Amino acid sequence: MTRSQLSTLFLFIFFLFGAQSLAQVSTANKTVWEVNRIDLGTILVEDGNQIAEFRFMHTQDSLLVIEEVLTDCGCATADFTMDSLSKGDQGFVQIEFDPISAAGDFERMIIVKGNLQSVEDTLFIEGHAIPYPENPLIEYPVKKLDLGFRQEKVRVGDVFTNEPKLKTVEIFNFGAEPLYGDSISLNGADHIKVIKVSDSIPAQGRGLISLAYDGQMKNDLGFFEDLVYMAWNDTDSVGLEVIADVFEYFPPVPKNDFRQVPQLAISRKEIDWGTIEDSETQEEEITISNRGQKVLEIRKVQGNCSCMRLEMSDDTISPGQSLTLKVTFDPEGRFGRDQRNIYIFSNDPLNPVQSIILKSRIE
């Protein structure tokens, strides 16, 4: 056999076995999981063990048997489907997690092994565990009637208009009577609602409530402090200050469309007035331009101080056009180094919020 014939035969065998290997990979037995990660949320350790259940479907022809489920911590134990599963059958892996081993954010890994070579799947549970306080009076220093809170204000953080933002709040009941979750009420702001609460908060014990802040229902953008009133039946209401930054949500823009959208451009992002007297009102004009190919809409211009007056002649800018933002700053009653911020909200999906910094030293 010539060298050329040998080479041809070798290539034929190589591609034949390569194709068989690919076929074996493509028909490998699989389990299809509904989810491979479960968030247990915020857990008070005194609430005891938590359960997470993962469900799956066997999708191939060979019988599947789950032989072993391993966890990376003795704090988690597993129960699972023991029967053999045919194609289309469903099974489960149930994890019981003891939160006493965790403090703060946690993540635990679970490995599922089956009799079929391809079955070795990785699952995760995660959450946030809060240890029981050694001294509740110290750890819940903000007292409102008989209720104790860790902080004076509830800080929700960034909220986008496409979905509500959830915030869990701890409550310590210093009173002599338990509080029951089905009797709680929240008033004062339609865009903030209680969506979950502990079944009961025992006397001299803790509980959790979850608030949902709806940015779409708020119907405004920027930084806000809302005052809401929480009460249980036959109790006086407690005022809670809820802080959030609300932003408009924009879906991702394909790279090829970057030039097709409105684009906000600001002539100066920082203004330093240097040393000024507290009796000297400062004025500045800043050019706002649209470098995109669609109309730019200025949703809102917000300063972080009542000491500023912000004026614009219009709130829409055609492609290639500009307008002027007039800034007036009154330093009266302020001394030392001073920094103020202006936030411009627009329909520019790439940079919907841009800021301008105003600096000075006031004497």
Confidence class for position 232, pLDDT limits 50, 70, 90: confident
Evaluate whether 228 touches 242 at the Cβ level (below 8 Å): yes
The structure's pTM equals 0.81
Confidence class for position 216, pLDDT limits 50, 70, 90: very high
Q: What's residue 350's pLDDT?
A: 95
Confidence class for position 119, pLDDT limits 50, 70, 90: confident
Q: Is residue 22 pLDDT above 60, yes or no?
A: no
Q: What's residue 8's pLDDT?
A: 45
Distance, in Å, from the CA atom of 328 to the CA atom of 344, rounded to the nearest integer, reads 16
Evaluate whether 122 touches 111 at the Cβ level (below 8 Å): yes
320: left (phi over 0), alpha (psi -120 to 50) or beta: left
Distance, in Å, from the CA atom of 201 to the CA atom of 203, rounded to the nearest integer, reads 7
Half-sphere exposure of 201 (CA within 13 A, CB side): 26
Read off the DSSP letter of residue 190.
T
Region 103-109: what's the mean pLDDT?
92
Phi, psi of 325 (to 5 degrees): -100, 120
Q: What's residue 120's pLDDT?
A: 87
pLDDT digits (tens, 9 = 90+) for 129-184: 999 999 999 999 999 999 999 999 999 999 999 999 999 999 999 999 999 988 99
In this chain, the answer to whether the domains covering 31-130 and 255-362 adopt an identical fold is: yes
Confidence class for position 61, pLDDT limits 50, 70, 90: confident
Q: What's residue 295's pLDDT?
A: 97
CATH topology of domain 136-247: Immunoglobulin-like (2.60.40)
Confidence class for position 117, pLDDT limits 50, 70, 90: confident
Confidence class for position 29, pLDDT limits 50, 70, 90: very low
Distance, in Å, from the CA atom of 74 to the CA atom of 101, rounded to the nearest integer, reads 9
Q: Which among 150, 128, 123, 129 has a CA at the least distance from the CA of 138?
A: 150
pLDDT digits (tens, 9 = 90+) for 263-296: 999 999 999 999 999 999 999 999 999 999 999 9
Q: What's residue 23's pLDDT?
A: 41
Phi, psi of 298 (to 5 degrees): -85, 110
Does residue 25 or residue 244 have the better pLDDT? 244
Angstrom distances, CA of residue 226 to CA of 192, 213, 223, 241, 326: 9, 10, 10, 6, 29
Distance, in Å, from the CA atom of 149 to the CA atom of 139, rounded to the nearest integer, reads 8
Q: What's residue 166's pLDDT?
A: 95
Domain ranges of the chain: 31-130, 136-247, 255-362
Distance, in Å, from the CA atom of 183 to the CA atom of 228, rounded to the nearest integer, reads 16
Region 218-241: what's the mean pLDDT?
91
> Look-up: residue for tokens 């809401």?
228
Q: Is the dihedral of CA 239, 244, 250, 254 positive or negative?
A: negative
> At residue 255, what is the residue type?
K
| Average pLDDT along the chain | 89
Region 316-322: what's the mean pLDDT?
96
Q: Is residue 7 pLDDT above 50, yes or no?
A: no
Query: What residues contact 220, with CB distance under 8 A and at least 6 apart?
Result: 246, 300
> Look-up: residue for tokens 């037995």?
29
Q: What's residue 259's pLDDT?
A: 87
Q: What's residue 197's pLDDT?
A: 87
Domain 31-130 = CATH 3.30.390.30: no
Output the six-digit token pair for 97: 């997690």
Evaluate whether 329 touches 340 at the Cβ level (below 8 Å): yes
Angstrom distances, CA of residue 49 to CA of 52, 74, 127, 276: 10, 13, 13, 62
Q: Just give the CATH number of 255-362.
A: 2.60.40.10
Q: What's residue 151's pLDDT?
A: 94
Long-range contacts of 134-142 (CB under 8 A, 24+ apart): 136/172, 136/174, 136/204, 139/172, 140/170, 140/172
Distance, in Å, from the CA atom of 262 to the CA atom of 347, rounded to the nearest integer, reads 7
- pLDDT above 70 covers a percentage of the chain that reads 92
